[in-house]
Amino acid sequence: DGGITQSPKYLFRKEGQNVTLSCEQNLNHDAMYWYRQDPGQGLRLIYYSQIVNDFQKGDIAEGYSVSREKKESFPLTVTSAQKNPTAFYLCASSAGDRVNEQYFGPGTRLTVT
Amino acid sequence: GQNIDQPTEMTATEGAIVQINCTYQTSGFNGLFWYQQHAGEAPTFLSYNVLDGLEEKGRFSSFLSRSKGYSYLLLKELQMKDSASYLCAVRGPGGYQKVTFGTGTKLQVIP
């Protein structure tokens, strides 16, 4: 079955620690995205990548970093510089066709205390 | 920039019809999406409109008026499983065609 996987589903970290969230897709999509979702707010774009070895900052990139070494993988690192890291993180991918709808992974709920 | 407005919450009765509205202001437009998101889960794609008019897909329909900056999602024959948040998202112009999401409308279906 094709799809997007994110792991783990729940993650707990202490303040001051960096943490990396995994995102893998086997849909053969070129584009991949990271969003965070907070209560009462829409999805906000952190980073996106349209092709391997290239990525761009979204609206709220500060305190985050990404890499895109393989087409299938787009890991997100939440650094200690991110002021409010506790959130629901969603990874998505899209094919780049006319509609270009995004397919989302199940999400990772990160709690930093 | 882009600004998207949706009602925060709605309640409707099982078997009924509900219309969820979305208005947007954008510096450029290249399509509007509706996604469904159950609590704690990932959004799933429902519909896409780029031209004016109604797109029907089973129990769900989506309408777009570009001149009015307005869209609605129509859900017919409501079922309990339709209780979810419905996200309106607008795609902008340019090479990347960034998608901006609204805050979502939480729909509760009651017996």
| Per-residue tokens: B42 | 């990932």
| Average pLDDT for chain B | 93
Q: In sequence order, which ranges of chain B are alpha helices (DSSP H)?
A: none
Measure the CA–CA gap between B66 and B59, rounded to whole angstroms: 23
**pLDDT tens track for A3-43:** 999 989 999 999 999 999 999 999 999 999 999 999 888 89
- Kindly tell me if the per-residue pLDDT of B66 is higher than 80: yes
A104/B42 touch (CB, cutoff 8 Å), yes or no: yes
Measure the CA–CA gap between B12 and B83, rounded to whole angstroms: 9
- Kindly tell me if the per-residue pLDDT of B1 is higher than 80: no
Residues in chain A closer than 8 A to B24 (CB atoms): none
In Å, how far are A24, A105, B8, B56 from B88, measured between CA atoms? 26, 18, 12, 16
More confident residue, B71 or A39: B71
8 A C-beta contact, residue B109 and residue B9: no
**CB-nearest partner of B33 from A44, A50, A101:** A101
Residues in chain A closer than 8 A to B49 (CB atoms): none
| Per-residue tokens: A64 | 């985050």
**pLDDT reported for residue B94:** 65
**pLDDT tens track for B20-52:** 999 999 888 889 999 999 998 999 999 999 999
Measure the CA–CA gap between B102 and B87, rounded to whole angstroms: 6
| Average pLDDT for chain A | 93
Confidence of residue B59 (pLDDT cuts 50, 70, 90): very high
**CB-nearest partner of B45 from A58, A101, A105:** A101
